[in-house]
Structure 1
Amino acid sequence: MTATLRLLPLLAALTLGTAAAAPLRWAAQNDILTLDPHSQDHTTSNAIGTHLYEGLTRLGRDYRPEPSLATKWTYLSPTQVRFELRRGVKFHDGTPFTADDVVFSFGRITQPQGTKQTYVSGVREVRKVDAHTVDFLLEAPTPMLLQNIISFQIMSKPWSEKHKATSTQDYKAREENFAARNANGTGPYRLVGWQPDQAVKLVANKDWWDKNPGNVTELSYLPIKSPPTRVAALLSGDVDLVTDLPPQDFFKLKAEGKVKLLEGAEIRTVFFVMDQGSDELRGSDVKGRNPFKDRRVREALNLALDREAIKRSIMRGLSVPAALMVPPGVNGYDAALDAPAKPDPARARRLLAEAGYPQGFEVPLHCPNNRYVNDEQVCQAAVSMWARIGVKARLVAAPFATHSQTFQRGESPFFMLGWGVSTYDALYALQAWGHTRTSGADGNFNFGKVSDAALDALVQKIKFEPDVPRRNALIREALLRVRDEALFIPLHHQVRPWAMKPGVDTPHRSNDYFEARYTTIR
């Protein structure tokens, strides 16, 4: 029995007993990590979470913030913003949405075991004014506030207390809580169930406060790791939509014309992270010191990569070789700065020798095998390129759920990561993975232990600079600092075409968040 055929009993079970007018089956390669909306800043988990939970603002079709659980906001001062909350909203369990839920959710998302504190960056306190009004008290004027809090999703305080889920799930410690497997938001869809590695099942929330412009009344998300199986499921009609079409199938399907294709870039950069904080690299043959602390070593690894070859042979032309750590479409991006150095293995070997590693060194390389486009194949190519300069990277490939837990526990000295800029502003990226790690929002995704005082100072200025030209100049300086100090090894910006049955109508979203509320199916 093929993997595609094995999906059929599951799909039948998920739809049994329902009378939906327009069910939609959506497939991509990796599963969600959790349903806890404050635990993991992971795109697939966030995309599902957007259907279930809402913030005070939301991302409109034009990628600008618009009212959601808040109907209005007023700046009482540069550091005090009053939000008037939408009345009559209920959580999926029927309990009313109030200011207490906003205050509670702020306390929850700021807990250090989660990775989403960036979305409330600059917020010192959320204070209840009355049942339907809250004030955000800011550390300083925060230009990105309305964009950031799109992803600050609101949970029910009574529900969380009832189910002992007041603490954010500690995913890296493999902790489970009720909110990790269950959901109770105010969003346009309700959770029916999640069977890990099989399906997430949602149904339309008939009591949603807004009007759903689409007609999808049931949504099944199906993680299908194998690219051929995903494509076969689409072609056979077992799924309706694939949002990570393999590059090797794109041109063939485009020529055949049997499915609808939506072409578009993704605001995601794929890169390699190096442990620059430990005194000795875990699993390396170098003892008593850390090669990644030396900029010459980092630059050598960067110069060894032939990004054009990877684009041509592995990505089939569907990637943008990168020198910057943010992609086109993000505020702060400058194409003039995004020109990768040509591969130069000879210079890379000289740099390694100057740094004291004339014979190179060994180090484990951790990569996912079901998260980014052709991720394991890209890592295999990088391993071969680094071997030419004497760096023996031992590939350890794993599903993203395992990969993510490993690097979050500090057990990956060298690993692949992809970063989508959900706020469409470079600060979100620079602050999360570039700032020295703290217990708060600054450095909350800095698992490479990068610590650069000059970059930290720039991030702090960017956070609170209200003048747009000055702020953009600071962003430019920060991105150049990251590039020129080789603090990371950017590989490419992803291009992510979507494929669907001809009867599906949905907009391509560059943040890789498929949204059923914008979708019609016939």
Structure 2
Amino acid sequence: MWRMSVSGAPETGRRVIGLALLTVLLAGIIQLQPVISQGQSVFRVGWGGTSLDTLNPFTTYAQISIWVTLDVYSRLVRVSADYSTYVPDLAASWEYLDPHTVRFHLVSNATFHDGVPVTASDVEFSFHLANQSWSSRSANVKVVESMRILDNYTVEFTVSSIPLFFAMAASTIPIVPKHIWAGLSDPSTYSGYPVVGSGPLRLTEYKEGQYLVLEPYSGFYYPWYLPKVNRIIVKFYPDVTSAANALLAGDVDAVGPYIPMAMYTVLASNPGFKVFTSPGTTYFYIAFNVDPNGTGNPTLRDLNVRKALAYATNISYLCDTAWHGYSKPATSVLPSSNIYHNKNLKPYDFNLSRAVEVLESAGYKLGPNGVRVSGEGTPLAYTLLVPSRFPEAVNAAQVIADWWRQIGISLTVKAMDTGSMSAIIWSNVNGVVRLGHDMDLWDWIVDPNDVSILDVFVTGRTITGISDSGYSNPLYDSLYETIYNASSVDEVRSIAWRLQEILYNDLPYLPLCEIEAVQAHSVRFTGFNYEWPGGPFGGSDWYTFLNVSEAHPVAQANGGGIPTVAVALSVVAVAAVVWVLARYARR
């Protein structure tokens, strides 16, 4: 563009235009980057996973949205590093009055980031918001039967199951300021920004789709938790490959939720980076649209078709090739790192002949073009939506398409951004949410003590934007309700195992691969827990931003160095000045 803009301009005009372009370019670059003051200790994370959808903690489904506010909002309690117990947060202590009642004693010196004191009224209001039908947290608080405020710093909960209450509610529900949220006309549509919490971090700057900035909150009630760096910058990238390239370029200091396996060697061989593997909490799956009210191909509502597709998918091969061996076959909607995972479930056998037999017996005959059709003449031709930001998932989808073609099923793979996927999946038809796709290949991140993923398959979850299968089974629904009355972890496990068996047999989801958390960071920083399920940059470790510190405050390691924005500014400035001063026109 520069050559075309100035090729016919006189010498004076060229200089003016060049200086104008330089001004615009420098302003544009500066606008896209957070300002870093000299002498500040800054830790930068590049995120290439599913995009941040909202900063409203009651409507988000994106892991990144939860992670960046984990230390911005307080919780009643926090889960310990090994998920074996709970540690104090806003609640300094608690006591069990009976098998269904727990009383929390709050710290008395907590304030929100705007200086307003935090009281039991804020706790009650936050749980009230979480319990609304539009809230993504409603399943978490279903276990709560009643709340009672005893004084400003004491709140009592009556719950149907104390183990589930701590795992799903006490440790997950963000405490928001009632004095702000109660004045909103519609909290369900609130963006959540500006964010006002009471945690050790403040969210001080946010550029949608670009980055956000977290800084210590000096008024936090546990000063020993305050982070060891001055700023944390989370940068958003279109995919994990772009985020990993940013790490190589020195634009960021760590990458989440994982690095692409194709870049493992180049990162691991660079002494400026530490590449490591943590226990995985992420798995990829294919969701079949079985919603009778959906607008996808109706043949997917036939269990015979879904079973044939399962038999025609070599999951072990996918895990070894698409994810380069850093994954293992998934067998359930709860990954094997989850304490409620049903260990008896095995992947469906890969057997193309059996898949053909199932389809033939069900009356799906080959058409003249090699694609099977139903008795009503509907072809078994489907479209599979895949997030473009996950190259391994896209490759897996293309391999699956080849297997399915061999049994007479046509599969078109469409890779796109997650926003476009969501718009297609949860389409709005005359004000009613309908599943508008055939199937999608996506991922879930499930914490080791979390069973709320089982709520995704309860009847009616399509309208809340949770269910991408539209699955409905009265037997499943009634059994799921009993989990909220479980009195022990063993009883929760027993019910969860049976629910997983139902889903395994009904196949609304075809679990594919559990992904090991292969991540990387610059050796300039230390303080990370590599054993945390999902890894320190996987979106669930609440210690990461609090414990990170500079390993070598002065020395610069490979991959660290001067931020690329500074290099870019220098290069653009020098190049532009040379161009402006040149006595001849570029050709």
Both structures adopt the same fold (TM-score exceeding 0.5): yes
In structure 2, the partner of 1:44 is 64
Structure 1 residue 239 and structure 2 residue 239: aligned?
no
Shift of residue 202, structure 1, vs aligned partner: 1.4
Letter in 1 for 2:230: T
Deviation sequence 1:358-407 (CA, Å, 0-9, x none): 2151233222222x562322223323332222222333332223323443
Moved more, 446-455 or 20-29: 446-455
Letter in 2 for 1:105: S
In structure 1, the partner of 2:515 is 494
In structure 2, the partner of 1:173 is none
Counterparts of residues 125-140 of structure 1 (less than 5 Å): 125-138=146-159, 140=160
2:381 to 362, 377, 395: 362
2:41 to 22, 25, 34: 22
Moved more, 388-397 or 37-46: 388-397
| Distance in 2 of aligned mates of 1:89 and 1:9 | 39
1:224 to 211, 223, 237: 237
Rg bigger for which structure?
A: 2
| Distance in 2 of aligned mates of 1:462 and 1:136 | 18
CA contact (8 A) 1:29 1:223 kept: yes
In structure 1, the partner of 2:559 is none
Residues 95 and 213 of structure 1: is their aligned pair in 2 closer, same or farther, counting only changes over 3 Å? closer
1:311 to 302, 319, 327: 319
CA contact (8 A) 2:329 2:512 kept: yes
Letter in 2 for 1:29: G
Residues 182 and 403 of structure 1: is their aligned pair in 2 closer, same or farther, counting only changes over 3 Å? farther
Structure 1 residue 53 and structure 2 residue 73: aligned?
yes
Residues 393 and 182 of structure 1: is their aligned pair in 2 closer, same or farther, counting only changes over 3 Å? farther
Shift of residue 283, structure 1, vs aligned partner: 4.5
CA contact (8 A) 1:160 1:166 kept: no
CA contact (8 A) 2:300 2:306 kept: yes
In structure 2, the partner of 1:105 is 126
Structure 1 residue 412 and structure 2 residue 437: aligned?
yes
Moved more, 185-194 or 398-407: 398-407
Moved more, 243-252 or 385-394: 385-394
Shift of residue 109, structure 1, vs aligned partner: 1.5
In structure 2, the partner of 1:174 is none
CA contact (8 A) 1:20 1:218 kept: no
CA contact (8 A) 2:461 2:470 kept: no
In structure 2, the partner of 1:507 is 529
In structure 2, the partner of 1:433 is 456
Counterparts of residues 271-420 of structure 1 (less than 5 Å): 271-279=285-293, 282-284=295-297, 290-335=298-343, 337-358=344-365, 359-360=372-373, 361-370=380-389, 372=390, 374-409=392-427, 410-420=435-445
Is the partner of 2:68 in helix, strand or coil?
helix
TM-score normalised by length of structure 1: 0.87
Residues 178 and 234 of structure 1: is their aligned pair in 2 closer, same or farther, counting only changes over 3 Å? closer
1:193 to 186, 191, 205: 205
Residues 204 and 405 of structure 1: is their aligned pair in 2 closer, same or farther, counting only changes over 3 Å? farther
1:421 to 446, 452, 460: 446
Letter in 2 for 1:276: V
TM-score normalised by length of structure 2: 0.78
In structure 2, the partner of 1:287 is none
Shift of residue 8, structure 1, vs aligned partner: 11
1:457 to 461, 478, 481: 478
Structure 1 residue 261 and structure 2 residue 275: aligned?
yes
Is the partner of 1:517 in helix, strand or coil?
helix
| Distance in 1 of aligned mates of 2:296 and 2:476 | 29
Shift of residue 470, structure 1, vs aligned partner: 4.0
CA contact (8 A) 1:365 1:413 kept: yes
Shift of residue 236, structure 1, vs aligned partner: 2.7
| Distance in 2 of aligned mates of 1:13 and 1:456 | 48
CA contact (8 A) 1:111 1:168 kept: no
Q: Which runs of 5+ in 2 are unaligned?
A: 2-24, 366-371, 374-379, 428-434, 552-587
| Distance in 2 of aligned mates of 1:300 and 1:6 | 57
Moved more, 220-229 or 39-48: 220-229
CA contact (8 A) 2:322 2:393 kept: no
Shift of residue 219, structure 1, vs aligned partner: 0.9
Q: Which runs of 5+ in 1 are unaligned?
A: 170-176, 285-289
Residues 407 and 518 of structure 1: is their aligned pair in 2 closer, same or farther, counting only changes over 3 Å? farther
| Distance in 2 of aligned mates of 1:317 and 1:251 | 14
| Distance in 1 of aligned mates of 2:191 and 2:323 | 40
Shift of residue 269, structure 1, vs aligned partner: 2.0
Is the partner of 1:184 in helix, strand or coil?
coil
Work out the number of aligned pairs and report it: 496
Shift of residue 438, structure 1, vs aligned partner: 6.0
Deviation sequence 1:212-240 (CA, Å, 0-9, x none): 26412211111122444322321232210
| Distance in 2 of aligned mates of 1:274 and 1:521 | 46
In structure 2, the partner of 1:518 is 547
| Distance in 2 of aligned mates of 1:8 and 1:266 | 39
Deviation sequence 1:132-172 (CA, Å, 0-9, x none): 1222232x23421111122210110112245x265223xxx
Letter in 2 for 1:191: L
Shift of residue 299, structure 1, vs aligned partner: 0.9
CA contact (8 A) 1:274 1:414 kept: yes
| Distance in 1 of aligned mates of 2:338 and 2:26 | 40
Letter in 2 for 1:436: T
Deviation sequence 1:435-478 (CA, Å, 0-9, x none): 223699xx983332212233223322333222444442332222
Structure 1 residue 207 and structure 2 residue 219: aligned?
yes
| Distance in 2 of aligned mates of 1:127 and 1:439 | 33
CA RMSD of aligned residues (A): 2.8
CA contact (8 A) 1:427 1:463 kept: no
Shift of residue 254, structure 1, vs aligned partner: 2.3
Is the partner of 1:248 in helix, strand or coil?
helix
Residues 292 and 347 of structure 1: is their aligned pair in 2 closer, same or farther, counting only changes over 3 Å? same
Residues 161 and 153 of structure 1: is their aligned pair in 2 closer, same or farther, counting only changes over 3 Å? same
| Distance in 2 of aligned mates of 1:339 and 1:158 | 51
| Distance in 1 of aligned mates of 2:199 and 2:413 | 41
Deviation sequence 1:8-62 (CA, Å, 0-9, x none): 945984134x466421110021431111111113211111120311211112222
CA contact (8 A) 1:365 1:396 kept: yes
Is the partner of 1:374 in helix, strand or coil?
helix
- % identical equivalent positions: 21
| Distance in 2 of aligned mates of 1:195 and 1:29 | 16
